Amino acid sequence: MAQLEEVEGIVLYHRRHRERDFLVKIFTKRFGKVMFFVRGSKKQQNELMQAIQPFSRATFIADIREGGLSFLRGSKDLETYRELQIDIFKNAYATYICALADAALEDKVTHIDMYYQVEHSLNLLNEEYDPEVVMNIIEIKFLRNFGVAPNFVACGVCGKSEGIFDFSDKYHGIICSEHFYEDLRRLHMNPKAMHLVRLYSVLKLDKIGDISIKPETQQEIKRLIEHIYEQSVGLKLKSKKFINNLHEWEDTLKKD
């Protein structure tokens, strides 16, 4: 009989398998992302159903297997994010962050730092923090896991780290104003937006303070991040498209 483990984890998603069974993807602290099978007995489902809801965090009693599916046997110390479950906007951001984690990280590879970043992001979303800021920080941090690591630290030409910067595909990162002429196809970013992106690249979500951003600056940050994901990552998640559509609907309702 397999030895059971107690593993702390965050539920990324679950889906029904056959009539009563479920497949559950959990981002665990010890083992990384693991796909679990939950058998369909009514008693076990009743005990685990709340624990396997997306964004739930718990200590799971699990049979971890190197090959094939692992199995969930129970849970304890359950923490649910109620606001993320009932608020359609917060739910959309949380869903996207979990989908991004699933896309960026290999299964069964430990990623403790990113585990904590996802955990902190869900805490912030649940606590009324600006979801766009949280999402943007996570998007920037996951770039390295996709094998993309733009240089946000210093000018790609001269190494200067202070001043006004823009983003350059040619130099795979920032260039200072003294060398804008080196890349005529640079993004022509708003300096304030570029400053914030540089800040996001080094900021830990558990250390974040209040950040007030004008809508036009936020749009510039979005433009840069989406440009990098389209050009260097090639990832288009349905959950991100849903967020963009939500904002379009919100704007339409405001006009009405």
The beta-carbon contacts of 143-148 under 8 Å, at least 24 apart in sequence, are 143/228, 143/232, 143/233, 145/104, 145/105, 145/111, 145/114, 146/103, 146/104, 146/232, 146/233, 146/235, 148/228, 148/232, 148/233
Q: Which of 80, 102, 123 is the last residue of a domain?
A: 80
Examine the domain organization and report whether 153 and 42 are in the same domain. no
CATH (domain of 207): 1.20.1440.120
Q: Which of 63, 80, 97 is the last residue of a domain?
A: 80
pLDDT, position 206: 87
Q: Considering only CA atoms, which of 78, 83, 79 is closest in space to residue 125?
A: 83
Examine the domain organization and report whether 166 and 75 are in the same domain. no
pLDDT, position 46: 65
**Could you tell me the CA-to-CA distances from 123 to 45, 62, 82, 131 in Å, in that order?**
26, 25, 11, 11
Examine the domain organization and report whether 131 and 151 are in the same domain. yes
pLDDT < 70 stretches in the chain: 1-2, 40-47, 249-256
| Runs of H (alpha helix) within 24-111 | 42-48, 82-86, 88-104
Examine the domain organization and report whether 123 and 248 are in the same domain. yes
pLDDT, position 84: 93
Examine the domain organization and report whether 138 and 166 are in the same domain. yes
pLDDT, position 18: 75
Examine the domain organization and report whether 52 and 94 are in the same domain. no
pLDDT in tens, 132-143: 999 999 999 999
Count of structural domains, the chain:
2
CA-CA distance, 28 to 12, in Å (whole number)? 10
Q: Which of 80, 114, 131 is the last residue of a domain?
A: 80
CA-CA distance, 118 to 125, in Å (whole number)? 11
pLDDT, position 253: 47
pLDDT, position 12: 97
Q: What is the DSSP string of 158-220?
A: T---SS-EEEETTTTEEEEGGGGGG-TTS----HHHHHHHHHHHH--GGG-------HHHHHH
Examine the domain organization and report whether 45 and 96 are in the same domain. no
Examine the domain organization and report whether 176 and 220 are in the same domain. yes
Domain span including residue 72: 5-80
Examine the domain organization and report whether 116 and 194 are in the same domain. yes
pLDDT in tens, 4-59: 889 999 999 998 877 778 899 999 999 999 999 987 655 555 668 888 999 999 99
pLDDT, position 99: 97
